[in-house]
Each structure stands twice: as structure tokens, then as C-alpha cells.
Structure 1
Amino acid sequence: MSENYQHRARKRFGQNFLHDAGVIHRILRAIHALPGEHLLEIGPGQGALTEGLLNSGARLDVIELDKDLIPLLNMKYASNPQFTLNQGDALKFDFNRLGAAANSLRVVGNLPYNISTPLIFHLLDNAGLIRDMHFMLQKEVVQRLAAEPGGGDWGRLSIMVQYHCRVEHLFNVGPGSFNPPPKVDSAIVRLVPHPVLPHPAKDHRLLEKLVREAFNQRRKTLRNSLKALLTAEQIEAAQVDGSKRPEQLDLATFVRLADQLAS
């Protein structure tokens, strides 16, 4: 295969290939991969980050959905014994297949907007394997991940990700760093699973259910938005003011409500 192999970005895969050398270097510096570490890159595309990740001496698994990119990635990297290519859909991938030790896997990805939220939830289901995650996402998504209670960005995504992880909004990336340029700004976020959950729920699935229910009707008071799950008396028993709206509650308060639901 010739070196000037051209791959056209596919709209249906939400592809925008990163080409800005300065941004690539900044992302690699933020990840700071070291020899002996186990990295997983989701959606390597044409390999903008792949080269630098392999140059660190780390072991690198990649997951790529687009069959047309497989020959290009193999041509560039298959000769490196540290490189393993997994063709498939990251949303359906069984991360246990990678044989990673507990809390060791370092996940990296430039995630298409249409799969970013479900993929983050899929990864959180495997949080016990993961040491940290560095993602390029739409800036608005990163703002929601890093949000604090009280604002319009605070919602289900903020609460469930912060339940599992520490969130750091590292820096923003403009559309010109990509080919084709997306219509939105992007940002790099670091997610680090908590070694010990700061607010463990009796049942985190119930917490997820309760948070979803609350924010499905975020303009309503808790007394109204949660009435299918909790009575006004139960909300009060959890020491929560039922006249508040969901965005006014912090993570610890949502956990108290979920534990009330679990009891």
C-alpha cells in the first residue's frame, strides 16, 4: 500500500481527523505514557496520536470500527510488537479481553459526538480496570462532565461520571486542528476513577435510575419529578427539600435519595 494512501473522513462514523502537531504534542504530554504501561486507544483514525503513544514504549491496544482504516493502521504500526489492533465497535467491546490488570488500563480517544456519552458509560461499567482516561470531546460535553451543582450544565452525565471519577477539563481545541473542521469547539478531559468512591451508593443502578428520572423533568421540583419513585415523606426522610429542582442538588444528596429508594 502506498504511503500517500488517502482516507476520506466518514460522516456516519463522526470522523474528524486531528492534524495539528502542536495539539497532538500537548495531548501526548498530558497523557505522559511510560514504558511498561498498558494503553487503549479508541478510534485511532489515521494514527495522529498512535505514533506518539507507541514511541513512549507503552503497550498499545487500539479499537477501530472503520474497516477502511485497518490496512493503513497495519501498514504503519503492525511491525511494532507493542501494537495490537482490534477491529470492532468500542460500544460493544469486552474490555476484559485485553487482559489488563486492575486499575492499570490508560484509555485515550478522540470520540465522535454521537457515541461519546454511551461510550463513557460503557467504560465506567469497567472502571475497575481503568487507571485514567483522556478524551477529546465536544467542548459542551466536557463542560457538562466537569460541571458543578447549580448551573444548567449540571445533569445526569456530570453526576454519574463524578460518582466514579475525578474530572479535569485540561484545554480547548479549535475546529482548525481537524480535517474536516467540525462545526464546534472541542476540549481535552481527564477522567480518573476514584480509588475509593467519595459517596458510595447502596446500589449505583438505583442512583442512575433516580438521576435519570429527576433530570428527565429538570424544570419540576423533586417532589414532582421523583413521585414515581419516592413519596414526599421519603424525600424528607433523606433530609432533602422536595421543593428544590434537581440541578440544585449535589452528588452526595442524590446518593442519599437513592439510598432511601434502596431501603
Structure 2
Amino acid sequence: MPHPERLTIVEADALKYDFSQLVKDGRPLRVVGNLPYNISTPLLFHLLEFGSQVKDMHFMLQKEVVERITAEPNTKEYGRLSVMIQYYCQPTFLFEVPAGAFNPPPKVTSAVFRLVPYEQKPITAKDEKALARLVAHVFTQRRKTLRNSLKGMLAEDGFEKAGVDPMARPETLTLAEFVALADQMVA
């Protein structure tokens, strides 16, 4: 290996590991992995906590999960994972990895994608925990209108102040609209 000092392999529970321990000389981390599919979502959310210390992340996951991460509004793939990952990072679908590339071949197609944490987020919520709660809540009831889904959580005039149609469904909202609604929840 030409530069072994530039590679660090850590054996630890990735869901609990403090990735900031790997930062040396203020240089941001580059995280690469073939993530275990069964813990991919909680692991991605854990890694987002260290976004300010990460240059980029390259991962392989099930293609359908990568499609959800990179999904745009008004698609069936768009959901909580799309909104929250895109709040913190710029995701890019890179390429598919067919099942035949593995031995034994899995029953799913995989894909490689990149996440680049924003140095400065394009839009910032007043309360990121409120944003996360809102997004999780509305996507558990994705067929309900926002008015019905958010009854008791958001004042009726909150929709108007946020510039969001109360009759819309969650999969039609942009990230900016989710942030506007979350900001109204804490106003």
C-alpha cells in the first residue's frame, strides 16, 4: 500500500462510534463503506452528526435505498430519508452494482452513492429537532393531507405563514417548505 499512514481502519460499533476521534490536524474525514443494509438508515443519521468534520462519504447500499436518499419531491421514493439527508448533504447517485458482482449474489441490486455535507446549508431550520419530528410524523401518514396529519401540531394560520397548501401531501413538499412548516411549529 503506497500511503498506509493515510488510511485508518477502526473496529468498533459504527452506530456508537465517535467519528470525531479520527480527525487529525483539522483535515476533514472521507468515509467509505459497504454498509450493512439492516442498519444503514440509523448509521447514516449517526454519521450526519459529524457532518462538519466530514469532507465526503461514499457508500454502497441497496439500490432502492439509494433511490430514496436521492429522490426528488413528487416521486414515490421521496420520504423522510430523502428530506433529512438532503437537509444536511448533497447526495449523488453514482452507479449500480449488479447482484452478479458478488459471490454468492444477493437478491438485490446495489448502488454506490456520495454524500457531501454542506459547509453552509442552503436553508436552515430554527429548530432541527422540530424539523426531524415534523418530517418523521408526516411521512408515517403520507396519504393524509398536511392539514389532517398536523392537526394539533400546527396552528391553521401556520400553513399560510409558511406558504404551504394545507391540502398538500408530504411527498409534494420541497425541503424549503418542510423547513418553513417546522419554523412555524416553533414560532
Bucket of the pairwise TM-score, normalised by the shorter protein: over 0.9
Aligned residues: 187
Give yes or no for the alignment of 1:182 onto 2:129. no
Residue 155 (str. 1) matches residue 83 (str. 2): no
Counterpart code for 1:91: L
The CA deviation at 1:192 is 0.4
- Structure 2 match to 1:59: 6
**Normalising by the residue count of structure 2, what TM-score does the alignment of the two structures yield?**
0.94
- Say yes or no: does 1:107 pair with 2:54: no
Q: For residue 174 of structure 2, what is the aligned residue in structure 1? A: 250
Following the alignment from structure 1 to structure 2, what is the Cα–Cα distance between the partners of residues 213 and 138?
24
Match of 1:97, SS state, is helix
1:48 aligns with none
Of structures 1 and 2, the larger Rg is shown by: 1
Q: Which residue of the partner structure matches residue 65 of structure 2?
A: 141
Following superposition of structure 1 onto structure 2, how do residues 225-240 of structure 1 map, counting pairs within 5 Å?
225-240=149-164
Looking at structure 2, the residues matched to 207 and 145 of structure 1 have their Cα atoms a distance apart, in angstroms, of 17
| CA displacement, residues 46-100 of structure 1 (integer Å, 9 cap, x when unaligned) | xxxxxxxx546661122xxxxxxxxxxxxxxxxxxxxxxx322101111122234
Letter in 2 for 1:245: R
Aligned-pair RMSD on alpha carbons?
Answer: 1.5
Q: In structure 2, how many angstroms separate the alpha carbons of the residues matched to 1:56 and 1:223?
A: 56
State the partner residue of 1:213: 137
Match in the other structure for 1:198? 122
Task: Give the conservation status (yes or no) of the 8 Å contact 2:159–2:181.
Answer: yes
Question: How far is 1:134 from its partner?
Answer: 0.3
1:119 maps onto 2:66 in alignment: no
Q: What are structure 2's unaligned runs of at least 5 residues?
A: none
Any idea what SS the aligned residue of 1:90 has? Answer: coil
**Whole-Å separation in 2 of the counterparts to 1:247 and 1:99:** 37
SS across alignment from 1:137: strand
- The alignment partner of 2:92 has SS state of strand
Per the alignment, residue 165 of structure 1 pairs with 89
Between the aligned partners of 1:155 and 1:145, the Cα distance in structure 2 is 8
Q: Partner letter of residue 60 of structure 2? A: M
Query: Residues 135-165 of structure 1: CA distance to partner in whole angstroms, max 9, x if unpaired?
Result: 0010001101110000111101000101111
Partner of 1:74: none
Separation in 2, partners of 1:101, 1:227: 49
Instruction: Give structure 1 regions of 4+ aligned residues with deviation exceeding 2 angstroms.
Output: 54-58, 99-103
Shift of 1:104: 0.9
Q: Secondary structure at the match of 1:213?
A: helix
Maintained 8 Å contact 1:101/1:129:
no
